[in-house]
Chain A
Amino acid sequence: MGDHHHGPAKGLSRWLYTTNHKDIGTMYLWFSFAMFLLGGAFAMVIRAELFQPGMQLVEPGFFNQMTTLHGLVMVFGAIMPSFVGLANWLIPMMIGAPDMALPRMNNWSFWILPPAFLMLASTLLMEGGAPAFGWTFYAPLSTTYAPPSVTFFIFAIHILGVSSIMGSINIIATVMNMRAPGMTYMKMPLFVWTWLITAFLLVAVMPVLAGAVTMMLMDIHFGTSFFSAAGGGDPVLFQHIFWFFGHPEVYIIILPAFGVISQIIPAFSRKPLFGYASMVYATAGIAILSFVVWAHHMYTVGMPVAGELFFMYATMLIAVPTGVKVFNWVTTMWRGAMTFETPMLFSIGFLVLFTIGGFTGLMLSIAPADFQYHDTYFVVAHFHYVMVAGAVFSMTAAIYFWLPKWTGRMYNETMGKVHFWVSFIGFNVTFFPQHFVGLAGMPRRIPDYALQFADFNMMSSIGAFIYGASQLLFLYNVIAAIVAGEKVSDEKVWDGAEGLEWTLPSPPPYHTFETPPKIEEQPAH
């Protein structure tokens, strides 16, 4: 067991061999940011091609590769690992644990990610091109009609799944076993709660995704017909399996974001989170409902009417716990004493835009109306309001909020505020008009469009370039803070911040809480 008090090793081996939750968290965060820029670059290609009607820059087949890789890289490479990184950094510090429960597995679950994405990205250079069947990879476009690179895609998905499952087991084991004495479940910070529930979701559904891609592999190489009617299979079976994974997946992405917002809004309102218990129950409710709503992505596949009705009612029900969360956040702000530093701005941006995404989600749940919305830009607008303004905004807020704690240095507040406003405006200029073109009849995933959609598409592209550029400002601000930011002397950093991580020095030493902290008797929040 050796020396417990050593500092980090020097050089590259520190990062390769590390089992330290802070190092691994840092690697996850940097990796996900690199993937965010890569996925963003793909999005820029998409928006540049859609700037005007007509084909200008890329061929339709390459355009499909871009939409596919954009989705895959953003979901599996940027958003999910970023929240795992956050969990690594924060969960041990929030529950008073010295590290994650399974540190070696932690190292492994990170280090299999970069090769997986390298393999996925390398498909761009392969004969026949990268996967071009959308991030939802519906069969038979992704099986019989797929480019040869699909096999590499399947392998990459398997590795990502293994990484996610290992990460989740680690989080579950840590939260269940390593809480400091006195840290009861109902005293855990909400971020820990949302991640615990998310980890259970991941363990439940990642194997389902693995099953789906394995069946694809069998269909492609071993002569089975899971998804081919000609051999007695069913292409719609693929969609059922995919979305049985895919719907919980979107909550996997958004629940930790809820957790982040539930930490930040109370801090800058200088007031405890309103309705802590109901927040926990609402999170669990959303997680449970997420298993019985999957076919709302499939209203047009020709399900029996009873199935449509079941999935419509179940989907509408999600509005109830989600509404509770939004009401709780607004009530947390109510009669607080608010200040509006960058993390708070991003959190309020989240609250407003996520709520709009929730409304369009409610509209989409209405099956007969969805016959008009399905697979149009209205859906694209909806899920970017919840994925970008939801998950990415909350992640951005989290970085600004905890960066001074992690590094002991402050970012540039003015630049942070500029980043927020440029992001907020750029985001809305990009995605708000997409509601209009979608309702007016523009399908998603098309490289060229009819002339009546031209103005809004141009607007959308301009917004996307603005939003994309603003992320470089973010990158600069973070690096500048790490290199030469003003030193933070306070443990608390933010005067309203509550929780064990704020009792540690800034930056925290390499090993923290080697002896468990004492949890004071006080109401939970």
Chain B
Amino acid sequence: MLNARALAATALLPLAANAQNQVNMSTGISEAGAVITDLGVEIYDLHMLIFWICVVIGVGVFGVMLYSIYAHRKSRGVEPSQFHEHTGVEIAWTVVPFFILIGMAVPATSTLLEVYDNDDAEMSILVTGYQWKWKYEYLDADGENVAFFSNLATSQEQIYNTDTKGENYLLEVDEPLVIPVDTKVRFLITANDVIHSWWVPEIAVKRDAIPGFINEAWSRVLAEGVYRGQCTELCGSYHGFMPVVVHVVSQGEFDDWMAAKKGSAAADAALAATELSVDELMVRGEDVYNASCLACHGANGEGGLGNAIAGSAIAMGGLDSHLNVVVNGVAGTAMQAFGAQLSDVDVAAVTTYQRNAFGNNTGDVVQASDVVSYKEG
């Protein structure tokens, strides 16, 4: 029998979720009335200018057509005229649109030049698209780069309709990009596998992330807040599930966040030197699994786009071959080399988890030191 309550809940969702049905482009102005980015406002104004020019022309053309449909119909007994050319009119409606186009091209050109003005950035962030997540790396003058992955945070239960969908359904991540307000940030955008595209509508940045090439884009966000976007270039099965979330905070908050980030990287390194208990590894491993493996291997290791992990020969066989798959990936398939993406602790935790969850029960415990020694060969 169908779950009537769940069905009723999903049926009501569209009504309850978000009363405002936005019909136009982001204005570049926040709900509080503050300008988010000057460029966003400029692009919106340009969009509206072209829109209104089209509306005026449309009203003219359709007006004439509708009048003609009303007035020049056979049922009114009119005799058809037989004229079929008029050089003056034909020249006019070739030349006049040309000048209207020049009127559009002038503001479009100046806005475009601004979009391309990547000079004088105060900080640079390397944005790398992966199937299906984003990696952000803050390029530090001292070489102490801070890097992390940003994964979809919406649960599979919400996606598969067994849980109520949250307010930011599909537009929420485990770790957002954090940037300081009123700072010219340069985004260096690339990809690790296929082409992705990094887009945040409210701050008016969209640029393709192309493997092997680095694109530039920039933004100076003037209003603090949370801005959400998505990948906009088809990048495989879970293209719809790799959102972008940007937190724009004050310079002070940003500095604190950055310090904490550097601190936790140090803590992770320290953790790698200690022995963790099975429970600790399993808890951590489940989180890593859900963020990095679940999309392809299924919530219960049953497989999907990727092979099944439950009962698999790799997860239940020799540890080295298991680590080989996790760390180095499988060439020619969607299985990525997670050795470069996850910390040694996380690789250890997720490997432990895969060897003991889903009924695999091998009883094996993998420590970060095992991963380090595996990597060192």
User: When each residue 41-85 of chain A gets 1 if its CB lies under 8 Å from chain B and 0 otherwise, what string results?
Assistant: 000000000001111100111001000000000000000000000
Knowing A362-B50, A363-B51, A374-B206 touch, does A336 contact B81 (C-beta < 8 A)? yes
Does B315 interact with chain A (Cβ within 8 Å)? no
Does A440 interact with chain B (Cβ within 8 Å)? yes
Q: How far is the CB of A345 from chain B (nearest CB, A)?
A: 11
Knowing A308-B112, A312-B105, A336-B72 touch, does A323 contact B207 (C-beta < 8 A)? no
Q: B234 and A133: CB pair below 8 A?
A: yes
Does A272 interact with chain B (Cβ within 8 Å)? yes
Q: A452 and B20: CB pair below 8 A?
A: yes
Q: How far is the CB of B75 from chain A (nearest CB, A)?
A: 7
Binds B, one of A7-15, A95-103, A442-450, A501-509: A442-450
Does B43 interact with chain A (Cβ within 8 Å)? yes
Q: B68 and A334: CB pair below 8 A?
A: yes
Q: B50 and A320: CB pair below 8 A?
A: no
Does A120 interact with chain B (Cβ within 8 Å)? no
Q: A234 and B213: CB pair below 8 A?
A: yes
Knowing A436-B23, A439-B24, A451-B167 touch, does A230 contact B239 (C-beta < 8 A)? no
Q: In the complex the two chains form, what is the Cα distance from A270 to B170 in whole Å?
A: 56
Does A319 interact with chain B (Cβ within 8 Å)? yes
Does A473 interact with chain B (Cβ within 8 Å)? no
For A268, give the chain B residue with the smallest CB separation.
Answer: B74
Q: B90 to chain A: which residues have CB within 8 Å? A: 275, 278, 324
Q: In the complex the two chains form, what is the Cα distance from A52 to B230 in whole Å?
A: 19
Does A132 interact with chain B (Cβ within 8 Å)? yes
Does B223 interact with chain A (Cβ within 8 Å)? no
Knowing A236-B210, A333-B68 touch, does A368 contact B101 (C-beta < 8 A)? no
Binds B, one of A27-35, A255-263, A351-359, A384-392: A351-359
Which of A145, A230, A356, A458 neighbours the largest number of chain B CB atoms within 10 Å of its CB?
Answer: A145
Q: B160 to chain A: which residues have CB within 8 Å? A: 54-55
Does A271 interact with chain B (Cβ within 8 Å)? yes
Which of B68, B109, B193, B240 neighbours the largest number of chain A CB atoms within 10 Å of its CB?
Answer: B240
Knowing A305-B112, A323-B97, A525-B84 touch, does A366 contact B104 (C-beta < 8 A)? yes
CB contact between A335 and one of B81, B216, B235 (< 8 Å): that residue: B81
Q: B43 and A372: CB pair below 8 A?
A: yes
For B295, give the chain A residue with the smallest CB separation.
Answer: A60
Q: In the complex the two chains form, what is the Cα distance from A493 to B85 in whole Å?
A: 27
Does A456 interact with chain B (Cβ within 8 Å)? yes
Q: B213 and A302: CB pair below 8 A?
A: yes
Does B233 interact with chain A (Cβ within 8 Å)? yes
Does A317 interact with chain B (Cβ within 8 Å)? yes
**Which residues of chain B (40-93) have a CB below 8 Å from chain A?**
42-43, 46-47, 50-51, 54, 57-58, 61-62, 64-65, 68-69, 72-75, 78-86, 89-90, 93
Does B339 interact with chain A (Cβ within 8 Å)? no
Question: How big is the B interface, by class?
Answer: 35 or more
Q: B72 and A334: CB pair below 8 A?
A: yes
Q: A217 to chain B: which residues have CB within 8 Å? A: none
Number of interface residues of A (CB under 8 A): 96
Q: B58 to chain A: which residues have CB within 8 Å? A: 355-356, 359
Q: A234 to chain B: which residues have CB within 8 Å? A: 212-213
Q: A327 to chain B: which residues have CB within 8 Å? A: 61, 93
Does B269 interact with chain A (Cβ within 8 Å)? no
Q: B98 and A320: CB pair below 8 A?
A: yes
Q: How far is the CB of A237 from chain B (nearest CB, A)?
A: 11
Which of B62, B84, B89, B108 neighbours the largest number of chain A CB atoms within 10 Å of its CB?
Answer: B84
Does A17 interact with chain B (Cβ within 8 Å)? no
User: When each residue 321-340 of chain A gets 1 if its CB lies under 8 Å from chain B and 0 otherwise, what string results?
Assistant: 00110110011011111111
> Could you tell me the dominant secondary structure of chain B's interface residues?
mixed
User: When each residue 233-250 of chain A gets 1 if its CB lies under 8 Å from chain B and 0 otherwise, what string results?
Assistant: 011100000000000000
**Which residues of chain A (437-483) have a CB below 8 Å from chain B?**
439-441, 443-452, 454-456, 458
Q: B304 to chain A: which residues have CB within 8 Å? A: 59
Q: B212 to chain A: which residues have CB within 8 Å? A: 228-230, 234-235
For B159, give the chain A residue with the smallest CB separation.
Answer: A55
Q: B23 and A235: CB pair below 8 A?
A: no
Q: A274 and B84: CB pair below 8 A?
A: yes
Does A185 interact with chain B (Cβ within 8 Å)? no
Q: B68 and A276: CB pair below 8 A?
A: no
CB contact between A300 and one of B47, B131, B206 (< 8 Å): that residue: B206
Knowing A301-B210, A338-B73 touch, does A333 contact B65 (C-beta < 8 A)? yes
Q: B104 and A330: CB pair below 8 A?
A: no
Q: In the complex the two chains form, what is the Cα distance from A372 to B48 in whole Å?
A: 13
Q: B216 and A302: CB pair below 8 A?
A: yes
Q: In the complex the two chains form, what is the Cα distance from A374 to B204 in whole Å?
A: 12
Q: B14 to chain A: which residues have CB within 8 Å? A: 52-53, 451, 454-455, 458
Q: A446 and B240: CB pair below 8 A?
A: yes
Q: A523 and B84: CB pair below 8 A?
A: yes
Q: A440 and B195: CB pair below 8 A?
A: no
Does B161 interact with chain A (Cβ within 8 Å)? yes
Q: A335 and B54: CB pair below 8 A?
A: no
For A313, give the chain B residue with the smallest CB separation.
Answer: B105
Does B10 interact with chain A (Cβ within 8 Å)? yes
Q: A374 and B101: CB pair below 8 A?
A: no
Does A277 interact with chain B (Cβ within 8 Å)? yes
Q: A355 to chain B: which residues have CB within 8 Å? A: 58, 61-62
For B132, give the chain A residue with the smallest CB separation.
Answer: A60
CB contact between A446 and one of B17, B98, B239 (< 8 Å): that residue: B239
Q: In the complex the two chains form, what is the Cα distance from A36 to B129 in whole Å?
A: 36
Knowing A54-B165, A359-B58, A452-B17 touch, does A300 contact B207 (C-beta < 8 A)? yes
Knowing A52-B10, A274-B84, A451-B167 touch, does A338 contact B210 (C-beta < 8 A)? no
Q: How far is the CB of A486 from chain B (nearest CB, A)?
A: 21
For B14, give the chain A residue with the smallest CB separation.
Answer: A454
Q: B25 to chain A: which residues have CB within 8 Å? A: 372, 439-440
Q: In the complex the two chains form, what is the Cα distance from A330 to B238 in whole Å?
A: 46
Q: How far is the CB of A368 from chain B (nearest CB, A)?
A: 4
Q: How far is the CB of A473 from chain B (nearest CB, A)?
A: 24
Q: In the complex the two chains form, what is the Cα distance from A335 to B116 in whole Å?
A: 51
Q: A523 to chain B: which residues have CB within 8 Å? A: 84
Known contacts A61-B305, A371-B205; 19 further A-B pairs (Cβ under 8 A): A52-B14, A53-B14, A54-B165, A141-B234, A145-B236, A229-B212, A235-B213, A273-B84, A275-B90, A276-B84, A300-B207, A330-B64, A336-B72, A337-B80, A372-B206, A440-B23, A441-B22, A443-B231, A456-B21
- 18 A-B pairs whose Cβ atoms sit less than 8 Å apart in the complex: A52-B13, A53-B14, A53-B170, A141-B194, A145-B131, A229-B210, A234-B212, A308-B116, A313-B105, A333-B69, A338-B68, A338-B72, A369-B46, A371-B205, A372-B201, A440-B21, A443-B230, A443-B240
